[in-house]
């Protein structure tokens, strides 16, 4: 393998598993995290020492910090995976402006700015991957998660539009759209869990490894004609 993969949000449950899966498969990793350094140490315990090229700490909730982060990426990047972001639950009319601004920054501006910075080198090499972990709510919407659904929907549009623009340069752009994945951010009561499992045809939530296996496939030579797609991974739920 030997390709360099930048993972934005490597400290989240999904991002961490993506890093471990790709690291074990022979990819070289550039890991971003904000405040969960413990997760980065856990990744290191699963992969070879020479797997991780660099670790960059950055709070990407502002455009200024994002631009500073980009300047710290000193290695060439063959693929970037966006696995970070915040969710918000509550009535739309009660959503604070500050929460809206943060959601737009993390889910829209960060992919815009980072992709914009990496595209020139990818276009020059005529190869590259841009993959965004979006959400089923970006496709079907969710009550009490209107702002979150909105920014995830914007990611879907970004993926489809950018794919049309850079496809002729042999750069593959895709999205992975998870349903209910068993992570800390999706923890629910036992009663809610049972109800959700009954709604899902496969009768279980997805795992971070379900997502990471799909990411590994999209980066492989077996997926070279998959482009501009939003791949649902939700056990048939939505």
Three-class secondary structure of residue 130 per DSSP: strand
148 carries an active-site annotation: yes
In a domain, 238, yes or no: no
pLDDT tens digits, one per residue of 34-68: 999 999 999 999 999 999 999 999 999 999 999 99
Q: CA 142, 207, 41: angle at the middle one, nearest 5? A: 110
Whose tokens are 């550039």? That residue is: 30
In a domain, 98, yes or no: yes
In a domain, 211, yes or no: yes
pLDDT per residue, tens digit, the chain (238 aa), is 589 999 999 999 999 999 999 999 999 999 999 999 999 999 999 999 999 999 999 999 999 999 999 999 999 999 999 999 888 999 999 999 999 999 999 999 999 999 999 999 999 999 999 999 999 999 999 999 999 999 999 999 999 999 999 999 999 999 999 999 988 777 778 888 888 899 999 999 999 999 999 999 999 999 999 999 999 999 999 7
Whole-prediction pTM: 0.95
In a domain, 100, yes or no: yes
Structure tokens given for 235: 């056990």
Mean pLDDT across the chain = 95
CATH number at residue 185: 3.40.50.720
Active-site hit among 33, 89, 148, 225? 148
Q: CA 52, 224, 122: angle at the middle one, nearest 5? A: 55
Determine which helix (DSSP H) or strand (DSSP E) holds 147, and give its type and residue range. helix 146-166
pLDDT tens digits, one per residue of 157-181: 999 999 999 999 999 999 999 999 9
In a domain, 61, yes or no: yes
Whose tokens are 């710290």? That residue is: 72
Q: Which residues contact 172 (CB under 8 A, 6 or more apart)?
A: 128, 129, 130, 163, 218, 223, 224, 226, 227
pLDDT > 90 fraction of the chain, expressed in percent and rounded: 91
Give me the number of domains the chain comprises.
Answer: 1
Q: Which residues contact 36 (CB under 8 A, 6 or more apart)?
A: 11, 12
Q: Are 26 and 1 in contact (CB under 8 A)?
A: yes
Among 21, 64, 13, 60, smallest CA distance to 38 is for 13
CA atoms within 13 A on the CB side of 33: 21
Given this model, what pLDDT does residue 143 score? Answer: 95
In a domain, 128, yes or no: yes
Determine the structural domain holding residue 110 and report its residue range: 4-233
As a whole number of Å, the end-to-end CA separation of the chain is: 35
In a domain, 192, yes or no: yes
pLDDT > 70 fraction of the chain, expressed in percent and rounded: 100
Outline where DSSP puts E strands in the chain: 4-8, 28-33, 52-57, 79-82, 128-133, 171-178, 230-233
Structure tokens given for 93: 């009319």
């Amino acid at each position: 393998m030997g390709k360099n993969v930048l993972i934005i949000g490597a400290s989240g449950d999904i991002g961490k598993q993506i890093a471990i899966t790709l690291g074990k498969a022979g990819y070289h990793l550039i890991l971003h995290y904000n405040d969960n350094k413990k997760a980065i140490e856990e990744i290191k315990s699963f992969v070879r020492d020479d797997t991780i090229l660099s670790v960059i700490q950055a709070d990407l909730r502002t455009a200024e910090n994002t631009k500073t982060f980009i300047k710290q990426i000193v290695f060439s990047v063959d693929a970037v995976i966006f696995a970070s972001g915040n969710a918000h639950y509550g009535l739309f009319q009660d959503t604070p402006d500050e929460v809206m601004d943060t959601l737009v920054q993390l889910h829209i501006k960060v992919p815009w700015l980072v992709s914009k910075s990496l595209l020139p080198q990818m276009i020059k090499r005529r190869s590259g991957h841009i993959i965004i972990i979006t959400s089923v709510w970006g496709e079907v919407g969710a009550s009490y998660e209107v702002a979150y659904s909105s920014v995830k929907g914007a990611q879907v549009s970004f993926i489809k539009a950018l794919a049309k623009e850079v496809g002729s340069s042999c750069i593959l752009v895709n999205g992975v759209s998870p349903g209910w994945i068993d992570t800390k951010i999706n923890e629910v009561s036992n009663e809610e869990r049972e109800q959700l499992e009954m709604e899902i045809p496969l009768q279980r939530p997805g795992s971070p490894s379900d997502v990471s296996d799909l990411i590994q496939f999209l980066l492989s030579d077996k997926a070279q004609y998959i482009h501009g797609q939003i791949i649902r991974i939700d056990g048939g739920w939505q």
